[in-house]
Amino acid sequence: MLQADFRQERLKKIVEALKKQAQQIDQQLSERIEHWFDVHLFSCDSNKALDYVLEVERNLNRLPQLSGNAQHYLAQQLSLQIEALVVALRPGVIDKKQTDKRLTTAATLASQHQRLAQYHEYERRLQQNLLDAQQLPSSPQQILHCQQRLNRCQQAIMQLEERIRQQEEGAEVNRR
């Protein structure tokens, strides 16, 4: 429990730093940026960076109240949100075109990481289905069907991981 409290406090400090950065960016930008992040990443839709940080703060405060899968899902969501905000709010001179491109890249990557986590959850369930089919008196057709679904899921995971890797390499080149 002590370690969880330490992590919670550390995350709160990160959120506070992001809040300050967001306030500075909101003050510096003469033109407001629409659609900061992918709609699956944040529930808010605002043209101010601070609103997204405040959503993260609310989610962080909700985390200890949840348990089990709900807590795990929210923790994953928080991780993706914080990662996207750190990339989007990186200190430096704010150039609208660079900011828009950076935000789009961060949102896309975060969305793809979220989809990858979802695919891994599907894979886990499909592996369990296959195991159940193999242990129970099932027809060979049913076992084959479970194996084929698992293979397609694993193929989708490999393709998505490759797309993420390529995008991350492209983002790294653009930062230099």
Q: How many domains does the chain have?
A: 1
What is the average pLDDT across 12-17?
84
Beta carbons within 8 Å of 144's beta carbon, 6+ residues apart = none
Give the type of residue at 121.
E
CB atoms within 10 A of CB 142: 15
Q: Pick from 88, 84, 97: which is nearest to 31 by CA?
A: 97
Q: How far is CA 92 from the centre of its chain?
A: 24
Q: Using one digit for the tens of pLDDT, what is the confidence trace for 47-62?
A: 788 888 899 899 888 8
Percent of the chain with pLDDT over 90: 15
Secondary element (H or E) of residue 80: helix 68-88
Q: Is the pLDDT of residue 157 over 70?
A: yes
- CA distance between the termini of the chain: 41
What is the domain extent for residue 116? 2-175
What is the average pLDDT across 154-162?
92
pLDDT given for residue 100 in this prediction: 54
- Taken in order 62, 64, 67, 71, the sign of the CA dihedral is positive
Q: Using one digit for the tens of pLDDT, what is the confidence trace for 101-122?
A: 555 666 677 778 888 888 889 9
What is the average pLDDT across 128-152?
89
Q: Is the pLDDT of residue 127 over 90?
A: yes
